[in-house]
Amino acid sequence: MPQGSTIESEHSPRPNAIRRPQAIVVQCQAFWAAVQFLTRVPTPTRPISESQHEGPRLQLATIYFPLVGALIGLATGTVIWLASCAWPIWLAVSLGLVVEALLTGALHEDALADCCDALGGGWTRTDVLRILDDSRLGTYGVLGLAFALFLRAGALASLDASLLLPAVVASAAIGRWAMVLAMAWLAPLPDRPSLTQQTGRQTLGVHVFWGACTALAGSLPLAFQSPWRFGLSIAVVLAVTAWFVSYLRRRIGGTTGDAVGAVCYVSQIVVLLCCSLRWPWQ
């Protein structure tokens, strides 16, 4: 081999050196895709579309759902904590929930209301899917969303001051992880193409595992401060998610975007209720 070829091969980039930056770029794109999917925050990457080519990017993005949720919870909890220094706690909680709705575009609130409308008002699978496609809100949707907001606001207002920020961040992270869990346990309906349908179709156990790791990272302050509340929250969220997935399987045979969003919001309420729980001797 000529000497020049030897020198060139010695200084040529190794395959691992090339793959490492590419892997970092892919992970960053997946994180920003999760931000786009869950919030209204502008991102430096291209917008998510319903193209079939979005499957791999959305599949990897599910790993970062709990992390994005933790950041949303951090913003909500910070607003509540700062506002509580100037106003009563009920008003501070209201301001925090308003800021979160603006940050997320009320994504999960809308999903919960639609899901309550469809599952409450639909007798058959066809009825449920037809109501899900209707943008108008009925009695079940209004009542379901109102009760959910009251429960969440009440739980937030009753939290100890030391638990406020850890509980809000943990509830947001665990709630988004419950979305990934629901999509892994039950496949999306094949006859309803959507972004969630593409994401859920690709969700595997490995994404649930790594999502759990990011959810744990966001829940560490709560786990250290009140281990029994953290453990109870995980147990109840798992039970509620498993029951709801089983219910969806019986009613419509799969998941939808609204159902997954409802799982997230209900899981957040469950965590906050567990964190605000008081034993008789306390």
- Asked if residue 117 belongs to a domain, the reply is yes
- How many other C-beta atoms are found inside a 10 Å radius of the C-beta of residue 217? 12
Q: Distance between CA atoms of 180 and 183, rounded to whole angstroms?
A: 5
Residue where the block lists tokens 């970062």:
64
Most confident of 28-37, 124-133, 204-213, 220-229: 220-229
Residue given tokens 């159902």 in the structure block = 259
Give me the domain span that covers residue 78. Answer: 62-275
- Within a domain: residue 213? yes
Asked if residue 241 belongs to a domain, the reply is: yes
7 assigned to some structural domain = no
Let me know if residue 40 belongs to a domain.
no
Q: How far is CA 143 from CA 55, 98, 148, 244, in A?
A: 35, 19, 8, 19
Q: For residues 228 and 214, give the distance between their C-alpha atoms in angstroms, rounded to a whole number.
A: 20
**Does a structural domain hold residue 228?**
yes
pLDDT band at 9 (very low <50, low <70, confident <90, very high): very low
User: How many domains would you assign to the chain?
Assistant: 1
- DSSP label at residue 189: P
Determine, yes or no, domain membership for 201: yes
Angle at which helix 227-251 crosses helix 257-275, to 10 degrees, equals 150
Q: What is the mean pLDDT of residues 63-85?
A: 96
**pLDDT tens digits, residue range 236-279?**
999 999 999 999 999 999 999 899 999 999 999 999 999 999 87
Could you read off the pLDDT of 148-187 as tens digits, one per residue?
A: 999 999 999 999 999 999 999 999 999 999 999 999 898 8
Tell me what pLDDT residue 231 has. Answer: 96
Inside any domain, residue 47: no
Q: Which residues contact residue 241 at a Cβ distance below 8 angstroms, ignoring those fewer than 6 apart?
A: 178, 181, 182, 185, 263, 267
Residue 25: band (very low, low, confident or very high) from pLDDT cuts 50, 70, 90: confident
